[in-house]
Every structure is written in C-alpha cells, then in structure tokens.
Structure 1
Amino acid sequence: MAESPEVMNIRQASEYLGVSPDTLYKYVSEERIPAFKLGNRWKFKKTILDSWMERKSSVGEGREKKKPKSARAVASGH
C-alpha cells in the first residue's frame, strides 16, 4: 500500500480513513472532522487526521472503561 501524502483530497482521505467520500463530505459539513479549503476543494492534513483519530479513540476507550464503574456504583447505591 502506498504511503498517504501529507495533504490529501476527499478521495485520498476517505481511503485513508476507511469511509466513503459521501460520509466524509457529511462529516466536513457537520464540522465533525478537521479539514480546510484550498480554493474550492476540501483538503485534509494527514498529521491532523492522525491526532484527531488518537483523540477520538482515547475518548471512546475512556467512556467504555468508566461506564461499568458508574453502573456498579448506581447498583450498589454509592
């Protein structure tokens, strides 16, 4: 697999992230993913996407780890 370029277009970023270009356009319009416009085209910086994915994955893991504790606390009345 070829290495992803530092600045990617929608097609390249969608392949890199494993989502369809339509999904990526939706995320951009909802401001759910970091992107910038160069002229009239959306661009994605690889290092920023990597940081964004790290933050998203660590937030998700944190929620999963905390959920059982709070459920136990509620069940035990604490």
Structure 2
Amino acid sequence: MAEIEDRWLSVEEIGKYLGVSNDTIYRWIDKYGMPAHRMGRLWKFKRDEVDEWVKAGGAADLEFRQEQRKA
C-alpha cells in the first residue's frame, strides 16, 4: 500500500525532515510557535504547515538575534 502524502508526522519524523534534534522541535513548539497539534501525549505535525512556518522565518530570526546578543 502506498504511503499517504498528507499524513501526520511525529516529532522524530519532522525533526529528521528539518535536520534538527527532537529537543529543538520541542523548543520551537514552546518558544517560537511552531505549528504542532497535541494528540494525547504526542505532538503531530502537517508537513505543509511546518513548511509555511519555516518559509515565514519560523525560529530563524529569533535564534539569530539571540546568538548575535551573545557574541
């Protein structure tokens, strides 16, 4: 059976898709409003929502500014 394209992704899957750790995903949900949906104890993601969030700047702008203040 072919995989459904518009399925819900797990923290591990979205982290692998974006190339970041699970801890980074949880931080982005908490601090940067990453689009995520809680289903019981689990967080689930729609790839198209996450793609739009990343294109709009996501956590990049905030993290860049914080790194600049530290330097």
Note whether the superposition's TM-score is higher than 0.5.
yes
What are the within-5 Å matches in structure 2 for residues 1-78 of structure 1? Answer: 6-56=7-57
Higher RCO, 1 or 2 (CA under 8 Å, sep at least 6)?
A: 2
2:57 maps to amino acid: K
* Whole-Å separation in 2 of the counterparts to 1:27 and 1:54: 15
Q: Which runs of 5+ in 2 are unaligned?
A: 62-71
Quick one: percent identity of the two aligned structures? 31
- Show structure 1 runs of 4+ deviating over 2 A: none
> How many positions carry a matched residue from both structures?
55
Q: 1:32 to 1:56 in 2, by over 3 A?
A: same
Deviation at 1:5, TM superposition (A): 5.8
Task: Tell me the SS of whatever aligns to 1:49.
Answer: helix
Larger Rg: 1
Q: TM-score normalized by structure 2?
A: 0.64
* Whole-Å separation in 2 of the counterparts to 1:53 and 1:27: 11
Q: Of Structure 1 and Structure 2, which has the larger fraction of its residues in helix?
A: 1
Q: TM-score normalized by structure 1?
A: 0.59
